[in-house]
Structure 1
Amino acid sequence: MPRDDFGDKFDLKKIPIPSAPRGLLRWGIPGLILLLLIISSIYTVGPEEIGVVLRLGKYQRSTEPGLHGKFPFGIERVTKVPIQRQLKEEFGFQTLSAGVRSQYTTRGREAESLMLTGDLNAAVVEWVVQYRIVDAYKYLFRVRNVQSTFRDMSEAVVREVVGDRTVNEVLTIGRQEVADLVSQVLQELCDQYETGIKVEQVVLQDVNPPDPVKPSFNDVNEAQQEKERLINQAQSEYNKVIPRSRGEAEQTIRRAEGYALDRLNRARGDSARFMAFFEEYRKAPEVTRKRIYLETLNEILPRVSAKIIVDDDLQSVLPLLNLDVKKASERKKE
């Protein structure tokens, strides 16, 4: 169809254009503005967070967890900082997926883990720094790029501490000491730079010699472990034998002391008894002598089986009295 014929049949000026209802224009636009106003004026802070409110880029206030309001349309902006959550930074490795079988990688992290010890040996040190944000204002505004700065400080402190120790201390007996000292020095730096970070723990995740010398270091570690095992075994035997010997020696000493005390008391008693007899003897010698004689016979005679009494005044052929025969005849008569 020619264009002129189309224009003659259809007049575009006469086609009606649909118009919006007056009610929609009257209430829709204000309602949309009101909805945007409400949405941009309300925000929620999580239970582990704190909200830092900025008004036109300037710090205004901090808000606790819960529902809060602010000026809309970007006049006030809220930055949420997780102050109750434990955060961590990994050095020398990176966790790809955490779980029962966590996956790690060291790609791109080799430079920060390779260190020089105090005796000019190399060691590969992988560590984790666990920390919390305790001051949201300092964390956001005192230091620029605080996370990058914190990583640089951690690496510098670890290199300094490792550089003051031998490779054997770093690999074996001094690992916990290194971790404790790194935590202390790193916290001092965080306080000095006002980062708002509290270092909770530094863990040396893995400390190994470089791969070319790893077999030799493994032999050294095995020898060290064997040494510790023998020392612990000897200490165990020592703890068994020495206390028992000390107990037996103490028992023997106590028994000897008791025997000595008993003998001493007996000697003192005998001495006191003798002195008492002596005093009585000095007063009446004959009476005391006779009394001692009779008391001695009273103790001895009951233990003698055969008793023979000799009378000096008897003039017969056998001047003796056999008490045993007399007793036997008396038994027969009975």
Structure 2
Amino acid sequence: MEREPQAPDAAGRALEEAVALAFRVLQLAMGVLVVLFLLSGLFRIGPHETGFVRRFGVLDPTPLGPGAHWGWPVVDEVVRVDRRPRRVVVRTFDLLRDAAAEVRGEAPRREGGLDPARDGYLISGDANLVHVALAARVSVRDPAQRSLVRAVDIEPVVAALLERAAVSAAAHRGIETLLGAGKTDFLADVKAELAAGLEAADLGLGVDQIDLERDLSPPPQVRAAFASVARAGQEADELRARAEAAAARRRSQGSVEAERRRSEARAAAERLAATASADRARFAALLPEWRAQRRTLRERLLSKTLTDAVDGLGEVFLVPEGDLRLRLERDVAELDRRLQEKVLAEEESAGEDEEER
């Protein structure tokens, strides 16, 4: 028998090999597509961002920190919340300023009345006008809540709330307080009002700080008058401060002087008490002798007193009672002898009188 040709079998095997190769290529392509599909779920959260995943339209409240993350493609939607602070400036209450004059450092000038269509202003509690530009720095407090309203442009909302807060805070103060020492309290009230407004708006934002973009100032038409009032107030404060300092110095000096005099008085009182106590003790010791021999004690005390009085003197003259006659001689030895004899005679006479008693 003749063998049949093998060509059809070879063609069949080639076809099978081609189909198998195509199938393997298709499998590889499908694997690559699956990998690419899964890789498409990779995303990155920036260093200043907080991320959230919305799956089938439902927000997952779990925050995602900075770095790489993965979510299901198509099914998950990534929501990024920028946590960087935002600065919103409000110039509604400021004067319209010329750029060239600003560069030259010139203050705006106005004559006549105020034009509300051109210049902004705040009304104080005492119905005066003041100009100011404010800046608010806000940041994200609740990233999850902020992600729900991320489509809302926060600058117009914050600006409107800041304007309302400034009007309310200024209405509770007089012009002197706003231009003087009450600026800090004014800014604190503006911050509190703005924070309350943002909380009521439920934007997930908070207030970090309120600054004066341009300081509070009176209208240009009355700037000189307000400057004079401010100078007068400063001079009054300086005079008051000097008067208080002088009063404090006087009080301090008076306290020192009073303490010194009290110390001297206490020392003098102590000395007087000590002297009185010593005299009392001495008199108490002499009392028995005084009662027993009064004249003798008197003469002895008199003699001691005279001796103490003339101690250290070169010459002593005793003047008797009655007429005084002075006899001046160069040699006084005879006079001294006579005086001594007289004193001895008086002492002997005093002793005899005491014995008779």
Does 1:319 find its partner at 2:326? no
Distance across 2 between alignment mates of 1:142 and 1:292: 115
Structure with larger RCO (C-alpha < 8 A, sep 6+): 2
Task: Check whether the contact 1:123–1:207 (CA below 8 A) recurs between aligned residues.
Answer: no
Does 1:273 find its partner at 2:278? yes
How far apart are 1:223 and its partner, in Å? 1.1
Q: Residue by residue, what CA displacement relative to the aligned partner does 1:288-324 show, whole Å, maximum 9, x if unpaired?
A: 66775676567545443435799xxxxx775146xxx
Q: Tell me the TM-score normalized by structure 2.
A: 0.63
Counterpart code for 1:256 = R
Structure 1 residues 134 and 251, CA gap change in structure 2 (3 angstroms): same
Counterpart code for 2:65 = E
Does 1:234 find its partner at 2:253? no
Spell out structure 1 runs of 4+ moving beyond 6 A: 21-26
How far apart are 1:178 and its partner, in Å? 1.7
How far apart are 1:53 and its partner, in Å? 1.5
Counterpart position of 2:261: 256
Task: Check whether the contact 1:117–1:166 (CA below 8 A) recurs between aligned residues.
Answer: yes
Q: How does 1:176-215 map to 2 (within 5 A)?
A: 176-207=184-215, 213-215=219-221
Distance across 2 between alignment mates of 1:258 and 1:72: 94
Counterpart position of 1:44: 44
Counterpart position of 2:315: 306
Distance across 2 between alignment mates of 1:193 and 1:133: 13
Does 1:243 find its partner at 2:248? yes
Counterpart code for 2:137 = Q
Counterpart position of 2:138: 131
Give the fraction of aligned pairs with identical amino acids, expressed as a percent.
Answer: 17
Distance across 1 between alignment mates of 2:36 and 2:304: 127
Which of these two proteins has the greater Rg computed from alpha carbons? 2
- Aligned to 2:73, what secondary structure does the other structure show? coil
How far apart are 1:193 and its partner, in Å? 3.7
Gaps of 5+ in 1: 1-20, 94-100, 102-109, 311-315, 322-334
How far apart are 1:153 and its partner, in Å? 2.2
Structure 1 residues 200 and 306, CA gap change in structure 2 (3 angstroms): farther
How far apart are 1:127 and its partner, in Å? 0.6
How far apart are 1:123 and its partner, in Å? 3.7
Q: Tell me the TM-score normalized by structure 1.
A: 0.67
Q: Which one is further off, 246-255 or 177-186? A: 246-255
Counterpart position of 1:327: none
Task: Check whether the contact 2:121–2:132 (CA below 8 A) recurs between aligned residues.
Answer: yes
Distance across 1 between alignment mates of 2:180 and 2:187: 13
- Aligned to 1:68, what secondary structure does the other structure show? strand
- Aligned to 1:128, what secondary structure does the other structure show? strand
Task: Check whether the contact 1:162–1:178 (CA below 8 A) recurs between aligned residues.
Answer: yes
Structure 1 residues 169 and 273, CA gap change in structure 2 (3 angstroms): closer
Q: Residue by residue, what CA displacement relative to the aligned partner does 1:88-130 show, whole Å, maximum 9, x if unpaired?
A: 211117xxxxxxx9xxxxxxxx899544444444443311111
Gaps of 5+ in 2: 1-20, 93-102, 104-116, 320-333, 341-357
Structure 1 residues 296 and 320, CA gap change in structure 2 (3 angstroms): closer
Counterpart position of 2:86: 87
- Aligned to 2:208, what secondary structure does the other structure show? strand
Of Structure 1 and Structure 2, which has the larger fraction of its residues in strand?
A: 1
Task: Check whether the contact 1:139–1:195 (CA below 8 A) recurs between aligned residues.
Answer: yes
Structure 1 residues 64 and 244, CA gap change in structure 2 (3 angstroms): same
Task: Check whether the contact 1:170–1:207 (CA below 8 A) recurs between aligned residues.
Answer: no
Distance across 2 between alignment mates of 1:295 and 1:113: 104
Counterpart position of 1:140: 147
Counterpart code for 2:66 = P
Distance across 1 between alignment mates of 2:51 and 2:118: 37
Task: Check whether the contact 2:178–2:216 (CA below 8 A) recurs between aligned residues.
Answer: no
- Aligned to 1:203, what secondary structure does the other structure show? strand
Counterpart position of 2:106: none
Q: Which one is further off, 282-291 or 147-156? A: 282-291
How far apart are 1:219 and its partner, in Å? 0.6
Counterpart position of 1:56: 56
- Aligned to 1:284, what secondary structure does the other structure show? helix
How far apart are 1:251 and its partner, in Å? 2.5
How far apart are 1:180 and its partner, in Å? 0.8
Q: CA RMSD in A?
A: 3.8
How far apart are 1:284 and its partner, in Å? 2.2
